Structure 1
Amino acid sequence: MKSKMRNCFLGVFFLISCVSCFEKGPDPTLVRFFDQKGFVENIGKNLIIPSYKDLTEKSMALDTALDRLIKQPTKNNLLMARQSLKEAWLSWQYCLPFEFGPSELRDLGADINSFPADISQIEANLDSSNIDLNLPENSHAKGFPALDYLLNNKFVTDEKLLSTIASKTTLNGYLLGVAGQISLASNLVYRSWDPAIGGVYYVFFADDDALGVKEGSSVSDLVNGLAKSLELTVTKAKVGIPMGDYSGGLAAPEATEAYYGGYSLELLKANIEAYRLIFTGTSRNGVDGLGFDEYLNIKGAKLSASDQPLSEAVASGLGSVSSTLQSMTDPLSNQIESNLPTVQQLNNQLIGLSYLIKKEMAPALRVEITY
């Protein structure tokens, strides 16, 4: 159960009423030998806040690049807008595991990265004079996937795209509206976290009342965030569905992330690196701190089926996924069509890694999976 004070803040910040309460204080059996407070402080200060800050900055840069493109529709400005989109999308990969608290209540992931893009709806929007991105039918017609289709569609030449922008059509407003929603949503979540700019969620996240492992504790949020994003977004959405694992073997390469930009594997590599940093407690600039590996070692956690230390098994799983990814070349859609055995290997490795987090690490830390 979540802290009443914690949820009241979120309720005011996002105009959402929260009525649950939270059992006070840490579970002494879980913090006796491990600095749990130092652990959550490290993850919060050195990974969560910097990741959301970087996403906000990259999203604002994307806003600026698109505004420049619309005012001056040149080939160079188009290339810069595409690069800004890619950089913002890469930045999001480091935020994906932290979809709890402000991000969960904002439904940030749904706002900015619901893929694959709904091409029919996007085209219908382009023919409309009034586009409301908050309508349910636009759930897959906004965010990074929509910009990917609008800026990287290989069936539209650069000359045609620049001509359309120069003609000041609905496309211009659509581009700015989608980018504006991404930067606004990202900024709201970041500003709710960072105490340096008035955010207070970090205070609740690292407070003594948020220690322990009960539902609503910081450790529970982190473990559930890792498990949920790894299982549903990474394993299923990024790889499983496109390769046909959920459709009787019927592949759907066009369902890959960044299908039009052609850098789905680059995004996935960044995402796996994000999980490695969280697991080892390492900041983006390489400073080592308390991570889940130390936590598991202090607990003496081993694989349920062997005596192998669980921290080693997870590290090995992350390494195997990274190694397979390094052997593949973008785009993933082409790999599915021409190198399916390797994609299947990657999928199996991701399933195994997801199992380790959800079925081995969570029980070892006495965290209940709640999604």
Structure 2
Amino acid sequence: MIKLSRKTIAFIAAALVVTTFIIACSKSGGNTNTLDPSANGFDKTAMLTNYADNLIIPAYTNLQTQANLLETAVNTFLTTPNTANQVTLKNVFKDTYLRYQDVSVDQFGPAETALLSNFSNTFPADSVVIEGNITRGTYSLTSNASINQQGFPALDYLLFNLHAINDFTGATAVNRKKYVQDVVTNLKTRVATVLSAWKGSYRATFIGNTRSDSGSPIAFLINQFAFEMDQLKGPRIGWPFGKQSGGTMFPNNTEGFNAGISVALATQNLTALKTMFNGNGSGTGMSDYLVALKQQKLSTDVMAQFDKAINSLKTVPDPYVTAMSNNKTQIEAAYREIQILLTLIKTDVASATGVRITYQDTDGD
């Protein structure tokens, strides 16, 4: 059985903090690829300000707002666990999970300190351990060992598995309801912590670091772009479909499996990556940074490949488990487009910006 890589995200994400991002920088005036882009009129401060004020902080704000709506819908369902309330809850859950995808690439700084990704989206959830926690009525959601027992994957399992409604009216109903409420509370707390830090001192720290050396925002962002693409190629799309396992599929290991929203989540994740890469179109972003580095063609190629990959994913219908049987051609096509985009970012963009990809991927490519 494949162990989905999100169970190892705690180690991968921690590595992103402590490992060194090496910036290859030529001192020769003849190498325009590695000259400071500010010499060509590029304003790094403006780019980072755009990221902080127009993308990152608003995305976390939207996630916090949506998490509050999720808590309300969850409590309504727990009070009256019926089909109508579950349907309403599923819509709110999907919207909240989609808003999480908008911040998935922002797992550095406050998010890394809070281990937001680890505790919010390590999938698949360990249903056996979760059921044991509920039966005992004792558990801890703060230890690293609990990352696959909470967050969106745990809520996906608890609230939308085939027997969920009956579970909340059965012998473990009291403990089960408390567990769900604790998971939601922990999710909200971590999101609030990250947003508060961005609104506090970290914004100035982020904007003020215009270097391209170890631990800089540029190095973090490019590594995170590549990491998220690896996750799309692997745990989100490829591995459940049988890549790296000789064609043996593991549909239960997908993100958002029980709610049947795996493809929607993957598509939003990729769309959010594109928005971040081009600075939301109206502001400067990494695409503009490449142009300043005399890499206009690469910038154009990356943006075009984002569109190809997104459009290809949109041809795959949810639920993913059904598409694995009925839409194999579309999945294969989407997988190929994702691979191409991954290579462009992980190899070409990293090389053009002088950033070394330092995290360990999970399939050796």
Q: Distance in 2 between matches of 1:357 and 1:345?
A: 19
Which structure has more relative contact order (CA 8 Å, sep 6+)? It is: 2
Q: CA deviation at 1:162?
A: 4.9
2:64 is the counterpart of 1:59:
no
Q: CA deviation at 1:269?
A: 1.3
Tell me the secondary structure at the aligned position of residue 131 of structure 1: coil
Q: Distance in 1 between matches of 2:228 and 2:357?
A: 12
Give the corresponding residue for 1:252: 250
2:52 is the counterpart of 1:44:
yes
Give the corresponding residue for 2:154: 146
Give the corresponding residue for 2:217: 218
2:31 is the counterpart of 1:29:
no
Q: Deviations over 1:122-156 (max 9, x none)?
A: 222221121212345432121111111111112x1
Q: Which of 275, 284, 294 does residue 288 from structure 2 map onto?
A: 294
Gap change, CA 1:97 and 1:290, over 3 Å in 2: same
Identity of aligned residues (%): 28
Q: Which of 260, 263, 266 does residue 265 from structure 1 map onto?
A: 263
Give the corresponding residue for 1:205: 206
Q: CA deviation at 1:248?
A: 2.5
> What one-letter code is carried by the residue in structure 2 that aligns with 1:174?
Y
Q: Which of 241, 244, 249 does residue 243 from structure 1 map onto?
A: 241
CA contact (8 A) 1:74 1:162 kept: no
2:305 is the counterpart of 1:311:
no
Q: Distance in 2 between matches of 1:331 and 1:60?
A: 26
Q: CA deviation at 1:88?
A: 1.1
Give the corresponding residue for 2:316: 328
Give the corresponding residue for 1:174: 179
Q: Distance in 2 between matches of 1:75 and 1:259?
A: 18
Q: CA deviation at 1:70?
A: 2.6
CA contact (8 A) 2:150 2:183 kept: yes
Tell me the secondary structure at the aligned position of residue 123 of structure 1: helix
> What one-letter code is carried by the residue in structure 1 that aligns with 2:271?
E
Q: Distance in 1 between matches of 2:38 and 2:356?
A: 17
Give the corresponding residue for 1:370: 358
After TM superposition, the structure 1 stretch with the greater mean CA deviation from structure 2, 328-337 or 252-261, is 328-337
TM value normalised by structure 1? 0.83
Give the corresponding residue for 1:91: 99
Q: Distance in 2 between matches of 1:93 and 1:350?
A: 17
Q: CA deviation at 1:330?
A: 0.5
Q: Distance in 2 between matches of 1:246 and 1:341?
A: 18
Q: CA deviation at 1:48?
A: 0.6
Q: CA deviation at 1:164?
A: 3.7
Q: CA deviation at 1:212?
A: 2.2
Q: CA RMSD in A?
A: 2.3
Q: Distance in 2 between matches of 1:294 and 1:72?
A: 51
After TM superposition, the structure 1 stretch with the greater mean CA deviation from structure 2, 55-64 or 261-270, is 55-64
Gap change, CA 1:211 and 1:137, over 3 Å in 2: closer
> What one-letter code is carried by the residue in structure 1 that aligns with 2:313?
L
Q: Distance in 2 between matches of 1:134 and 1:143?
A: 12
Q: Distance in 2 between matches of 1:63 and 1:94?
A: 19
Tell me the secondary structure at the aligned position of residue 257 of structure 2: coil
Gap change, CA 1:161 and 1:78, over 3 Å in 2: farther
Q: Deviations over 1:21-78 (max 9, x none)?
A: xx9xxx9723222111111111111111111111111112212222233334454433
TM value normalised by structure 2? 0.84
Gap change, CA 1:243 and 1:317, over 3 Å in 2: same
Tell me the secondary structure at the aligned position of residue 90 of structure 1: helix
CA contact (8 A) 2:120 2:147 kept: no
CA contact (8 A) 1:56 1:186 kept: yes
Q: Distance in 1 between matches of 2:282 and 2:300?
A: 17
CA contact (8 A) 2:37 2:289 kept: no
CA contact (8 A) 2:167 2:173 kept: no
Tell me the secondary structure at the aligned position of residue 240 of structure 2: helix
Tell me the secondary structure at the aligned position of residue 97 of structure 1: helix
2:335 is the counterpart of 1:337:
no
Q: Distance in 2 between matches of 1:358 and 1:121?
A: 36
CA contact (8 A) 1:223 1:367 kept: yes
> What one-letter code is carried by the residue in structure 1 that aligns with 2:320?
L
Q: Distance in 2 between matches of 1:139 and 1:322?
A: 29
CA contact (8 A) 1:116 1:140 kept: yes
Q: Distance in 1 between matches of 2:356 and 2:168?
A: 52
Tell me the secondary structure at the aligned position of residue 216 of structure 1: coil
CA contact (8 A) 1:214 1:368 kept: no
> What one-letter code is carried by the residue in structure 2 that aligns with 1:281?
G
Give the corresponding residue for 2:169: 163
In structure 2, runs of 5+ residues without a counterpart are 1-16, 24-33, 360-365
CA contact (8 A) 1:325 1:346 kept: yes
Q: CA deviation at 1:252?
A: 0.7
Give the corresponding residue for 1:102: 110
Q: Distance in 1 between matches of 2:250 and 2:170?
A: 30
